[in-house]
Amino acid sequence: MPNCIILAISPANQDLATSDAIKISREVDPAGERTIGVLTKIDLMDKGTDAVDILEGKSYRLKFPWIGVVNRSQADINKNVDMIAARRREREYFANTPEYKHLAQRMGSEHLAKVLSKHLETVIKSRIPGIQSLINKTVAELETELSRLGKPIAADAGGKLYAIMEICRLFDQNYGEHLDGVRSGGDKVYNVFDNQLPAALQRLQFDKQLSMENIRKLITEADGYQPHLIAPEQGYRRLIESTLVTIRGPAEASVDAV
């Protein structure tokens, strides 16, 4: 991640050329802008050797000075040596070891914590404009999405009913504008009802359904066992209902087309 600080931790009693931490930090941070080198196990180096050249940046230079630390050993952990005592022994080690006395002020875990805190502050300050820009962009995108989704629907029954009625009103308004020519599309609606529907109705076979024989049959069935002098209304209703069933398909197709 570009905003992360990299701690390249390597043991002093091993060759830095084979350090995985240094290798990986070089790959992700070639310029060393956010890499801080930490050297551990300085107190465990072979007798007659030291890490002065590394800590002074002579043998392996980083943009930020190397920081050496002396951690608790396994024996210290087993003896329950607390961190306060461990930090005190660490300070004493760098202050009293001749090779590191001149570097003691910038060695140790306490100095590492101060460096990390200061560096983190610097990184945050440098990233604030970009973070602010990202936040503004995200807010604008979310506001656009919220605007597209519309106003929230109320949880109560009255609010839901109002929302449904408002949707119906807007649909009626938009549809009316299309029909009145305020918006495009009215001509297509006109074509459906003036051309497509009449053409579909003309293809229906009404001759048999409206034949005198069929009409007489419907009237007779409506009379029942007692014929009427005047054709009963029930017969006309049955005739109309059967005709409506016939034209239902073309009518629904016209509605779907609209």
Is pLDDT of 89 > 80?
yes
Q: What would the pLDDT profile of 90-99 be if each residue is shown by its tens digit?
A: 999 999 999 9
Distances in whole angstroms, Cα of residue 95 to Cα of each of 104, 105, 107, 130, 203? 6, 8, 9, 43, 107
Domains, the chain, in order of start with CATH, read 6-129 (3.40.50.300), 185-257 (no CATH)
pTM above 0.75, yes or no: no
Name the helix (H) or strand (E) containing 39. strand 35-40
| Backbone φ and ψ of 22, nearest 5° | -65, -40
What would the pLDDT profile of 139-153 be if each residue is shown by its tens digit?
999 999 988 887 777
Query: Tokens in use for 35?
Result: 């890499």
The span from the CA of 233 to the CA of 50, in Å, is 118
